[in-house]
Amino acid sequence: MSDVAIVGIGMHPFGRHEGVSGMEQGAHAVREACKDAGVEWQDVEFAFGGSSAAGAPDTMVAQLGLTGLQFINVQNGCATGGSALFAAANTIMSGAYDLGIAIGFDKHERGAFRIQAGNGGGRDWYGGSGMALTTQFFGMKINRYMQEYGITQNSLARVASKAFHNGALNEMAWRRQPFSEEEVLQSQMLSYPLTQYMFCSPGEGGVALILARADQAHKYTQKPIFLKSAVVRSRRFGSFEVLAPSLALEHRAGPTVDASKAAFEMAGIGPDDIDLAQLQDTESGAEIMHMAENGFCEHGEQESMLEKGETKIGGRFPVNTDGGCLANGEPVGASGLRQVYENVLQLRGDAGARQVPNDPKVAYTHVYGAPGISGVTILSR
Amino acid sequence: MTQVSINERVLDISSGSPKLLGVRCKSCDNHMFPTQKGCPKCAGTDIEPIELGTRGTLWAWTIQGFPPKAPPYLGEVDPAKFEPYGVGYIEIPGQAKIEARLTEADPTKLSAGMDMELVAQPLCTDDDGNEIVTFAFAPVATE
């Protein structure tokens, strides 16, 4: 997939923005991306837009300009942004168009996601019984993982503390106050063994990426970033997934493992070739488990990697350099594109105070979410 | 006070002891809960209703430490009165792992592999004064 380049990026700060709709945040990101690529909205030939809770994305043409472009809405849970990017890249690869945009934005109510089931009759027994919470899945999965592979609560605190440290260096982040590992451990226990500061919160924000044919990329930017892979995978039988009233007796790896393998195959490289990664950190345990599920270490090895600070910005393998979901929150439609935005900045060398040293060349993103879906991208200079 | 099941398609309490209603795929023996019409393992559609076993072992668990949002939650949501509750997957031998509330909410008293049994657990009272019950698993007394 060497023939698609990201030539412009735009973002609306993540966080809480009273009086600003999710779609306005998306439109802001689009204008910023156009400015970054040096194009006008009129030049954009097609769009894929995603949002889970902030309205139908294609209606944003009313604010951006009614140019008549092809605009397709994407809604795919936590992989919404990744799916929009996948579709946009393939539209260029197919030869249908030369210049397009992938957009993601969202705006969620405060607190944990409210999940109500349509279950074909009778009361909503799952939500009614207090089991329709994504937070419980993450608590159960990391609790089991810690027992199995010897991960300690200190590691959970290290991940969160790192995220807030990186967030403090990121002017687009929501949580910009650093917290010590001790403060993370002392915060309220939400879903054992995970405390409040180990969890990200649903939030708001918008991101847009302008894509072009690679052979035309230099028309728009001095520093094109090439999309080597964009993969989305759903779950297979036997995997342990969020919001599952029952699971099979047999146990197998989840969609992250499948998406990661496919992305590496598509790019023709392996985990050792990756210089930095943005990995889904719905809570700090997720980042730990996803390091191994994406092939960057063995299960259990994370304990020593975190102890040595290897995933910090100056470390051997920086993870979630922009503060991840923990510091940015999770506007579902925008979250996966935020990761790509950060990797573009890092590969351009434009990440400022949080720039990964030694001139990184290849970067990786990963999202995971309900109901058992994962999206991976690999970018290179 | 009359007890009513939170949903009779899922939980049967008519005999006085709780039973969970699932289905089994006749082609590949995969067990599913709640009921559904197709099998995610073999894509078959020859499905029969079954009662799930009421004993099993704890496979994964956490403690719900804050009140869930209402709706959909039917239990106590007042932060001053809310009491944390356990949630886990119980592995029913030869069938499936079932997600359920746990009667135990003390992390020092829960561990993977411990024996658990199905119980009915009151959640709230409906407008007619009936007590709505859901299902939960309780640690099996060891003595």
- CA atoms in the 13 A half-sphere facing the CB of A246: 24
Structure confidence by residue, pLDDT tens digits, A64-115? 999 999 999 999 888 899 899 999 999 999 999 999 999 999 999 887 778 8
For Cα atoms A204, A210, A216, give the angle at the middle one, nearest 5 degrees.
170
A-to-B residue pairs, Cβ atoms closer than 8 angstroms: 133
Interface with A, mutate which of B87, B89, B130 (most A CBs under 10 A): B87
Q: Which residue among B69, B91, B134 sits closest to A249, beta carbon to beta carbon? A: B91
- What is the pLDDT at residue A79? 86
Structure confidence by residue, pLDDT tens digits, B82-114? 999 999 999 999 999 999 999 999 999 999 999
Instruction: Assess B69–A contact: CB distance below 8 Å, yes or no.
Output: yes
Average pLDDT score over residue span A309-335: 97
- With a cut of 80, say whether residue A330 has pLDDT above it: yes
- What is the pLDDT at residue A1? 47
**Alpha-carbon span A120 to B10, nearest angstrom:** 11
- Cβ proximity of A254 and A244 under 8 Å: no
- Interface confidence, given as ipTM, is 0.96
**Alpha-carbon span A40 to A252, nearest angstrom:** 48
- Cβ proximity of A25 and A206 under 8 Å: yes
- With a cut of 80, say whether residue A288 has pLDDT above it: yes
| A241 vs A298, more confident | A298
Average pLDDT score over residue span A27-44: 98
Interface with A, mutate which of B58, B62, B82, B132 (most A CBs under 10 A): B62
- With a cut of 90, say whether residue A117 has pLDDT above it: no
Give the CATH number of domain A4-110+199-380: 3.40.47.10
Task: Write out the residue range of the structural domain in which residue B53 sits.
Answer: 3-139
Nearest to A50 by CA among A278, A379, A367, A294: A367
Structure confidence by residue, pLDDT tens digits, A142-178? 999 999 999 999 999 999 999 999 999 999 999 999 9
- With a cut of 60, say whether residue B54 has pLDDT above it: yes
Instruction: Assess A128–B contact: CB distance below 8 Å, yes or no.
Output: yes
- Domain count for chain B, please give it: 1
Least Cα separation, residue B141 to chain A (angstroms): 23
Chain A residues near residue B10 by CB distance under 8 angstroms = 122, 125
Q: Which residue among A116, A122, A246 sits closest to B72, beta carbon to beta carbon? A: A116
- The verdict on a CB contact (< 8 Å) between A144 and B59 is yes
Instruction: Assess B113–A contact: CB distance below 8 Å, yes or no.
Output: no
Residue ranges covered by each domain of chain A: 4-110+199-380
For Cα atoms A30, A374, A228, give the angle at the middle one, nearest 5 degrees.
65
